[in-house]
Structure formats: structure tokens, C-alpha cells
A and B are shown apart, each in its own frame.
Chain A
Amino acid sequence: MNTASTPRTRQARESVVIRFAGDSGDGMQVTGSRFTVETALAGNDLTTFPDFPAEIRAPAGTTYGVSAFQIQFGARDVMTPGDAVDVLVAMNPAALKVDLTDLRRGGTILVDTGAFTERNLTKAGFPANPLEDGSLAAYQLLTFDITRLTTEAVKPFGLSSREAHRCRNMWALGLMLWMYGRDRQATIDWLRRKFADRPELAQANVAAVNAGHAFGETAEMSEHLVGYTVPSAPAEPGRYRTVSGTEALAWGLIAGMRAAGLEKMIFAGYPITPASLLLHTLANLKPYGVVTFQAEDEIAAIGAAIGAAYSGALGVTSSSGPGMALKTEMLGLAIATELPLVVINSQRAGPSTGMPTKAEQSDLFQAVHGRNADAPLAVIAAATAVDCFAVAIEAVRIATTYMTPVIVLSDAYLAHAAEPWRLPEVTALPRFPVRFRTDPAGFHPFLRDPVTLARAWAVPGTPGLEHRIGGLEKDYDTGHISYDPDNHARMTRTRAAKIAGIANGIPPQRVALGDDHGAVAVVGWGSTYGAIHRAVSEARDDGGDVSHIHLRYLNPFPRNLGELLSRFARILVPEMNHGQLVQLLRAEYLVPAEGLSKVEGKPFKVSEIVQAIESTLRRG
């Protein structure tokens, strides 16, 4: 076939999954992020999944140094990064080796032949060059010497060969933008801003993007190099942007602080993957009343947040599993002193150091029960990147309304994943202004609101309310230290009742998809939302009697949850852990819930949940 004379018409696709993969120094996260922005601006719905190693710069060319960024985008509602990859961009042999497993048969591979050197092939463990030995026959192979093409494109700007080499990702981005008919302007503007101090780098990177794009426009060497159109997805009218879970959390915390009428947020953290991103994000938001404090350790971080809460600010700390373990004793202090506190846990695979950059949901038990003594607190979880905004506001509401620590469970996936967000009107956000105690008449620090059981928030600086609090048990009626046995029993019951009573102020549990009764309820929490929702939707399309229930409130549960679950014959609980929510549900409601575990450091695929649903339905 003479492709040269074939008109280059674009083919239509409803949705596409692309994975950009390369060495951890190849800039794959940046490439994916820029492709995401241009795709969002083109009006597609999308979900992204950055997947990178813990090593900052693992030895170049090795399989454990591969960094990847996956995006699914489409003309319909996109809820997951996609089960199978349609297009794999592999910048070196190691990336091909690691990421080929998720490419669908018949999928497209774009490789930089310039990186397929003998040395790199050996490092990746290829006995022969896979581009030449026929082992990739099941795929459509696009092989270009991106290294050479990039070097030529940036030659006029006088970069070092190392700097020129680092523009390869922008060339690949340019080609992919062409392939899906995307604009380049936002990326060009972004490059000019990013390299404002190094105009030659800005020019070179822009030239690389343009060269990749022009290559697609003019190349005539392969029938596989086809342009596609992916029509925009139907969306509610409004102003949109893409948002990552981390950004949504940061902005949600500020919105929560405003909603509570507080002037200052003290956010105290200690560097830990993957939670540090929230510290970095908030460190740039000082004009909004945010003070960030990088403490000497995890304990000091939560300590400073508690001190801030004691003084009438919004106290927030954030960490991941191992850091959460260190904060445990301080959580007990916040519970005993009944101070408002927001604690965000970006969960990662464990135990111990585990797999720091990989997502897991295995800190649920730790959040709900992981403290010495009877030490209840509130636990809520975010389902999507966008949901992080509302969950952060809700965490502030619960913390300040009930004078309690609240643990927000996010995870390594949500921290990085991005999706389009229809921006809320700030004036329409909830309001729940706190009332500090100022009246000395009859005051003691453990005076309680009769409805919420919250104690009075009396902050230093208030004349006439000088008082002492601490970790020692306090007398219910005076707030003084007490070792009285009956009083301790009463205070223990009161602390439990206060947390249980949060259920009175939250909405009843709804069904996210399907009927409120039936054969199977798939019950999830956290970042599995998209995969479960799509799986249930597919199973229902096939006639399955199945519903999706997704929990935001994990302690306490919504009041109607037990009754709702009892209306289903079977309950399937997919979790990225060895079975934690499933045990909590069984313990709380004596229901025959069954678990579906995935502990591979990767999100569920839709197909994995569909299979489990089908198997559950078959058992009747």
C-alpha cells in the first residue's frame, strides 16, 4: 500500500488509554501531566495514574528505575485510568519490558530506537532486540529515532548534549498531541513560564514539541501512524479545571478553615512519601492564612498541630502509614483533651517501609482502632481526586463541631491522580462557624454541648477562662484531674458517645449505583470508587442485580448502613488490603460480607471486580 497517497483522515475513538513510560530521569510525569492538561482543555473526561519508583534517580536504564504515567480519556464518563493500555510510549527498553504486560493485544507501541542500544537492552534484560526479533508481532510498532530527531530539532539553541537529550520527552509529547488532535498552546505557554530564566531551554523544549507534532503531520512511513479524534465528553455547563487529589485536599482545607470562620491554619508535617506533596502545595498558599511547619519528626508535626488547635487555629497534620504509627500517642492526647484536629493519611503499601510510592488501603484498622486504650475518633475517606475537596471541608466540620481528631484516609493513588473538576462557587460552600467560649460564668474546660457532647473550645488569650488540660483523666463535672473509678467509666462512655453521635449529623448512606436492595451489594471505600462504579455499571448492563455502595464515613458508619446492607443477599467488599472494611462490617452488623483483596500496589482493574461480581452472582 502506498501510504504516501492515502489521505490522512483521522479515526474516531470513544476512549483511549495511553501510558508514557521511561527512565525516572526521562520526565514522564511532566509529559503525562502536560498531555492531561491539553486533553482536559479539549473537553474529554479523564483520569490519570502516575506510577513511579521510590528511587529519585535509579540507575539509568534499569527496570526498577522505570517511571510511568497513565491516562484514560474519552467522550464518556471516565472513572479509572483504564484496565488495558491502548498506546504505550516506551522511551527505553526497560520501560518496554516493564509496561508491555498491560498493553492490550493489537495495541500500539511507540519507541525511541535511539535508546535501544546494546547496553540498554542488556540492562533491561532483553537477550535480543525485541524490535527486531518478532516478539512484538502482536502489536503495532512505531519505531522512530526520537533521540536523533530531538537533537536535530534543538540544535539551533546551543544546548549541551545532556540538555538536548532531556528534550526527548517533549518531542514524544508533541507527537502524541498530534495523534489525538490536541492543541499545544497551553504547553508552549507553560514551558515559557517554567524556563523563564533559561530562554534557550524554553525555546528548545518548544521546538521539540513542535518537531514531534510536525513529524506526525508529515510522516508517511507507517500505516500505523494514524491520527485519531476523541470527541469531547458531555459535561454540565460551568467552569472546569483538572485537579489532583493533593490540590483538592489543600484547597479543601482552606475552604474548611473559612467555613469554620478560623483565621489561621497551622499545617505541620514531616517529609514522607507520598504525603509530602500536600506540605509542598500548602507551603505556597501563605496568602490564604496557611502556615506550614516542617517539623523535626512525625511526633513533633502532630504536636505542633495540637498546640495550634489548643490556641484556636485549625491544626492539621499529614503523613503516611509509618508516620501515622509515630503519631499514635499524640492522637490519644488530642482525644483526651478533646481538641479539633485534622490528620490526613496518604496510605501506601506496607507494613513498615513497604512500597512507599505504591497505593494501598491497609491503614483502615490503624485509623479506626490503632491506639492504646478506648480512644475513638472520626475516620472519613476520599473517593476521588475531586472528592478530596469536599472531604477536607467535612473533616474540618467534624473536627470543630465535635472537638475531636478526624483522620482523613487518602492514598498514594489519589495523591497524584487528576481528573476534571467543575469548580464550585465559593459563596455556595458550607458554613459552620465555630464559637469560642468567652463567658467565664460557670466555665470549666469540660463543659459539654448537650447535643454534640463537644467540650467548650476556650483558647489562651481569653480573660477569665484560664484552665489546665492534659492527658490525665478529667472529672466530668469540674474538669480537674480525677482518678475516680465511676468518673473514668463515665468519661470513657462519653468519649465513645460523642464519636458515635457524629452519625446524627451526616447524611444517610446512599446507593451510588443501582437499587437499594437486591442480590449483590458491592461496598467500597476510598480510591476504589471509579473501578467499582464502572464494574457495577458493566455488570448491570449485562443484567446483573448488583448495586454499588461507597462509604465516605468509616467511623462512625452512617446510621442506616446496617439496615441498607441487610437488604442485599450478598455483600462484596473490594479493598486494596488483606480484608479490613469487610471485617469491620461483619463485626458491626453481623452480615455475611465477603472480601475481594488486591495488595499489589496497583489500583483495581475494572475487569477484576467484574469477574468477582459475576462469580458472586453465580453463587446466587
Chain B
Amino acid sequence: MTVTTITDAELTPKDYASDQEVRWCPGCGDYAILKAVQKALAELGAPRERTVFVSGIGCAARFPYYLSTYGFHTIHGRAPAIATGIKLANPALDVWVVTGDGDGLSIGGNHMLHVLRRNVDLQIILFNNEIYGLTKGQYSPTSRRGTHSPSTPQGSIEAPVSPCAFALGAGARFVARAVDTQQPAVVALLKRAHAHRGASFVEVFQNCVVFNDGVFDHFTSKDVAGDAQLHVEHGKPLLFGPNRERGLRLKPGTVALEVVPVGPGGVPPGDILVHDETNRALAQLLVALEPPAFPVALGVLYCNPATSYEADVSAQARAAGFSGEPADLGALLRREGTWTVAE
């Protein structure tokens, strides 16, 4: 049987847009991420009928309604669980999870932990805006100490969780980070995430214009971006600054990073650490970097593939004797301990 699909023709980002009117606040970072996702899908030539977007609850969770693929807008925090079931039922589907800092790390923190450690073959995009937007601006688990919100009028007294540090701790084997407005970088990361077999975790810093506007300005605004962002690339030295004049090296005598000047008057280029995205220890150091002392590390921080969960599930089923042809139920019922009552 030949199934003719639209993927035979060149698909453009517009082909991945649904007919539904997008209803985020004007200026919301979600628009940029939606465009980046549509562009990534088009560049991947993703067959729409085999692509599924699963979301939980929150502003980000409206995402599936705006795509022309299959979509499941589930309940708060539980998208990873439902996505796992989808993948178990049909491993051939390409399944994406869209979540936020509250959805994925507060009410759904448990599911996020387990979907990552199981390594289910999903692309998980976590929109981090450090706030609850849809419920009108309460502090979230990624909000920094002191965040003033309707539920924290004196400022939050909680230490925030770092999404990428959480993902690494949970055993994620692909961890990446981007800024919503840097579309080429987001598209590139999404394509890398898609190529990765197993759970891939992508945190996108997403600006909430209404409740937390400018919360990432200290490293995203144009005047500081060069000094405050480190774009990592596998096999390339960890250099940053407007003219890549600074770099990271291991502080002698410790297991800590330090910023050093490179070149004339600084350290020799050979002292600068080279990014190895398969090195988990390095990834853990990189995700912890924070301004002002350090730049924010962006890009693929960690990528170290292993067999994915649903592939192992299928392998075990085959090893147990599942051949694709379902076994004889009548024989199962009569397998042992039967007796016959004669006519």
C-alpha cells in the first residue's frame, strides 16, 4: 500500500499552522517559539500525520491547538505520562511534549523526573518564564528568591529549581537551552533534539510580557548578551564575550570553572576547556553558571544517547516470545492443571 502524504511535497512552516487563531498576549515569547517549532518541523519534513504534540496546562500548553499535527492538550503536569502511553502504543509516532516551569517542574515534577530517567523517545520543550501566567502571575518553582507576586507580596522565600540541572540529575541524556527570541538557535536545537533517540530536554527562556517582563534581561538584552551568554558547541573551546576574548577553564586545584581572559595578556588558548557534550560532569558545571560572575550556557549542554525505553520494551516483548502474531489464547487457558468431565 502506498500512502501518499503531503510530505512528498516541500512543506513550509505555514503548513504546520492550524486554522485556529493564536491567543497568547501580544508580545509573548510563545509566538517566537511557535514559529521556531513550525520552522523546525518544515526543515525536518516531519509528516504531520505521524507527529503528535502533547501538552499539560498553562500558557504554553495551548501550543498543540496552533499546529496542524495531531495534538493532545491534557491535564496539569501529566503530559509526560500520556506521551509515554502514546509512544508505548505506537513507537513509530514522533511525539513532542510542550510544558512550562509550573506544569513540568511543580505539579508535574514527578512525571518529568521519570520520563527523563526512563529515556522515552520524546522531545520535551520546557518554556521557562519563571512565573504562572495563566493563573495571573503567581511565583513558580523557577522564580528567583524575592520574586514579588500576588501570592508572595513580600517576595518569594524559596530557592528556585534549575530546569537543566534537574534534567541532568534525573538522568536525561540530552539537555539543551535556548532563548526564545534567538530563532535560528532554537530551530537548530529542536532539530538536534529530534535527531536524538531517547528523551531530549530543551529549556527555552521565554519572556512573559505581562507578569514577568524582562526577567531574563540581565543576560538577554542586546547590551549585555555578548558578555552574559556562552554558546557552546561540541569540540569547540568555551569562549564568549563580544570578541570571544574570554573563556572558561578549570580553576587549578579545584573542580570549579573560572572565567579567564584569552590571548595577549591572558591565558594561552590551549588552557580553555573544549566542550564535550558527552561529558556529564562538564554539563553539570555548565548548567550551574549564572550571571553576573559567569555567562549563561546555551546550546546542547549534554548529549549522550542510550537505548530508548520503548525500544527496550519492544525488545523484551520479542525476547518473551511476541512475534507480532498474537499467541493462542485457548492454549494459554489450557496450559496447565486442567481436567475433563466426560459426557
Contact = CB atoms under 8 A, between A and B. Distances in A.
Interface of A: 37, 40-41, 43, 186, 235-242, 251, 254-255, 258, 263-264, 266, 268, 285-289, 291, 293, 295-297, 299-301, 303-313, 315, 329-330, 332-333, 337, 422-427, 459-472, 480-481
Interface stretch (B107-115, B131-139, B253-261, B299-307): B107-115
Contacts of A481: 20, 65
Contacts of B73: 468-472
B83 to A, nearest CB: 6
A263 B326 contact: yes
B326 A241 contact: no
A295 B70 contact: no
A467 B89 contact: no
Nearest to B338: A241
A241 B334 contact: yes
A308 B49 contact: no
A330 B332 CA distance: 33
Interface in B62-79: 64-65, 67-75, 78
Contacts of B340: 238-240
Interface stretch (B141-149, B175-183, B312-320): B312-320
A291 B90 CA distance: 12
A330 B327 CA distance: 32
B321 A37 contact: no
Given A251-B333, A307-B54, 16 more contacts: A239-B334, A240-B339, A241-B336, A293-B85, A295-B114, A297-B110, A300-B78, A300-B81, A306-B82, A307-B89, A308-B88, A311-B93, A315-B89, A423-B333, A463-B5, A467-B70
Contact of B326 (A242, A289, A315): A289
Given A264-B89, A296-B114, A307-B81, A466 B48 contact: yes
Nearest to A469: B72
B331 to A, nearest CB: 9
Nearest to A289: B326
Given A296-B113, A330-B78, A472-B73, A462 B49 contact: yes
A287 B320 contact: yes
Given A300-B111, A308-B89, A426-B329, A37 B337 contact: yes
B70 A460 contact: yes
Contacts of B68: 466
B92 interface: yes
B89 A251 contact: no
B341 A235 contact: yes
Nearest to B93: A460
B321 A286 contact: yes
B50 A461 contact: yes
Contact of A303 (B50, B78, B337): B78
B75 A333 contact: yes
Given A304-B88, A463-B49, A468 B72 contact: yes
Nearest to A307: B85
A382 to B, nearest CB: 17
A308 B85 contact: yes
A332 B74 CA distance: 10
B85 A268 contact: yes
18 contacts: A236-B341, A238-B340, A251-B333, A255-B329, A286-B321, A287-B323, A288-B329, A296-B111, A305-B85, A307-B83, A307-B89, A311-B86, A315-B89, A423-B334, A462-B49, A465-B49, A468-B20, A469-B72
A300 B84 contact: yes
Nearest to B343: A237
A468 B326 contact: no
B279 interface: no
What 3 pairs between A and B have smallest CB-CB spacing? A307-B85, A470-B73, A303-B81
B49 A304 contact: no
Contacts of B317: 286, 291
Contacts of A460: 49-50, 52, 70, 86, 90, 93
Interface core residue of B3, B84, B89, B111 (most chain A CB under 10 Å): B89
Contact of B64 (A41, A255, A470): A470
Interface in B182-206: none
B337 to A, nearest CB: 5
B322 interface: yes
A461 B88 contact: no
